[in-house]
């Protein structure tokens, strides 16, 4: 919802550039302050630059520039102008910021702390870039190019590319360093999901009860929740019933669950997480 409001105030293109720039800065900060000084290869081209830096003392920013420029050219020729335009800003800003922030002192020399906070910092940055409809290049572009010819799922291809980079770290680092890298990679992916979806989680409730009318009235009038009736048929007695479906905010879950059980202590409820909900009372989607 915040992004939609910013788009209305400043324009979509301006907000996208700001998000991609801020995200690229966070990626570079996490790389320079946590991963590089602790030699944590958390996948992607960034991880590959750490390996090359350790082996040949090559500048990570120069390696990133070389690889991303090559990948951007391949992206333009193979994937087309649209994906190229979405990828170019983040792909060039990340190595630029890594070069500008090379003077930063390591935030910690404890590998486990570096893996945790480096993963979170880079995940926040990548998530912001994705919110800006951009890309940081690297393995994402490699995966999209491979997908063009193999039609495999993008998530699988990105995972394979990142996995190969981490496995290659075993050539010069010990197993413990690779385990730190896996922690960082996991936290990065979780943070990306959190930034894109947001912390405002909701829950879906499916309720079956002979007192469905009383429960639905309670939800609508006293708890201010919308309801939908779904016809269901019992598998044992083949009796016709009505199931209530409602979506609520997570912080209201305990109160609403108890209110339903007060009406019918034997109510059958299925609860599932809903990370994104659009509509009245929740996020209003506007492109």
Distance in angstroms (rounded) separating the CA atoms of residues 1 and 24:
22
The pLDDT, as a whole number, for residue 59 is 93
- Residue 74, both tokens: 């391949």
Give the whole-angstrom CA distance, residue 101 versus residue 25: 9
H-helix or E-strand spanning residue 146:
helix 139-150
Percent helix, strand, coil in the chain, to 5, is 65, 10, 25
Dihedral, 26, 65, 183, 187 alpha carbons, nearest 10: 40
147-193 tens-digit pLDDT: 888 878 766 788 788 889 988 998 889 999 999 999 999 998 888 87
Tokens of 32: 């320079």
Does an H or E element contain 21, and which? helix 12-30
Which tops the pLDDT comparison, 226 or 114? 114
**Could you report the per-residue pLDDT of 38-47, keeping only the tens digit for each?**
999 988 899 9
Helices and strands in the chain, H and E counts: 11, 4
CA-CA distance, 169 to 261, in Å (whole number)? 54
Q: Nearest-CA neighbor of 55 among 171, 179, 139, 174?
A: 171
Q: How far is 250 from 242, CA to CA, in rounded Å?
A: 24
Has residue 284 got a pLDDT over 50?
no
Report the predicted TM-score, pTM, of the whole model to 2 decimal places: 0.75
d(CA 43, CA 271): 35
Please name the residues in contact with 80: beta carbons below 8 A apart, sequence gap of 6 or more: none
**Tens-digit pLDDT profile for residues 68-126:** 999 999 999 998 888 888 889 999 999 999 999 999 999 999 999 999 999 999 999 99
Q: Are 100 and 70 in contact (CB under 8 A)?
A: no
Residue 139 to residues 71, 216, 245, 253: CA-CA distances in angstroms?
9, 49, 41, 40
Cα–Cα dist 113/33, whole Å: 11
CB within 8 A of 185, min separation 6: which ones?
42, 43, 119, 162, 166
């Amino acid at each position: 919802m915040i992004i939609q409001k910013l788009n209305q105030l400043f324009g979509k293109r301006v907000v996208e550039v700001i998000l991609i720039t801020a995200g690229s800065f966070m990626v570079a900060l996490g790389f320079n302050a946590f991963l590089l000084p602790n030699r944590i290869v958390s996948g992607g081209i960034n991880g590959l630059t750490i390996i090359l830096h350790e082996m040949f003392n090559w500048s990570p920013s120069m390696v990133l520039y070389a690889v991303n420029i090559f990948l951007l050219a391949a992206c333009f020729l193979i994937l087309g102008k649209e994906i190229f335009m979405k990828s170019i800003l983040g792909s060039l800003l990340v190595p630029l910021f890594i070069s500008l922030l090379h003077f930063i002192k390591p935030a910690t020399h404890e590998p486990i702390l570096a893996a945790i906070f480096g993963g979170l910092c880079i995940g926040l940055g990548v998530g912001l870039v994705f919110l800006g409809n951009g890309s940081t290049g690297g393995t994402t572009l490699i995966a999209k190019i491979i997908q063009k010819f193999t039609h495999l799922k993008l998530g699988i291809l990105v995972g394979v590319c990142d996995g190969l980079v981490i496995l290659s770290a075993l050539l010069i680092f010990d197993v413990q360093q690779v385990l730190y890298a896996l922690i960082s990679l996991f936290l990065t992916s979780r943070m990306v999901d959190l930034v894109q979806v947001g912390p405002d989680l909701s829950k879906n409730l499916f309720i079956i009860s002979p007192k469905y009318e009383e429960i639905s009235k309670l939800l609508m009038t006293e708890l201010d929740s919308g309801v939908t009736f779904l016809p269901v048929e019992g598998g044992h007695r083949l009796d016709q019933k009505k199931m209530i479906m409602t979506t609520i905010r997570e912080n209201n879950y305990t109160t609403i669950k108890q209110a339903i059980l007060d009406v019918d202590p034997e109510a059958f409820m299925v609860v599932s997480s809903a990370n994104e909900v659009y509509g009245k009372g929740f996020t209003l989607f506007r492109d």
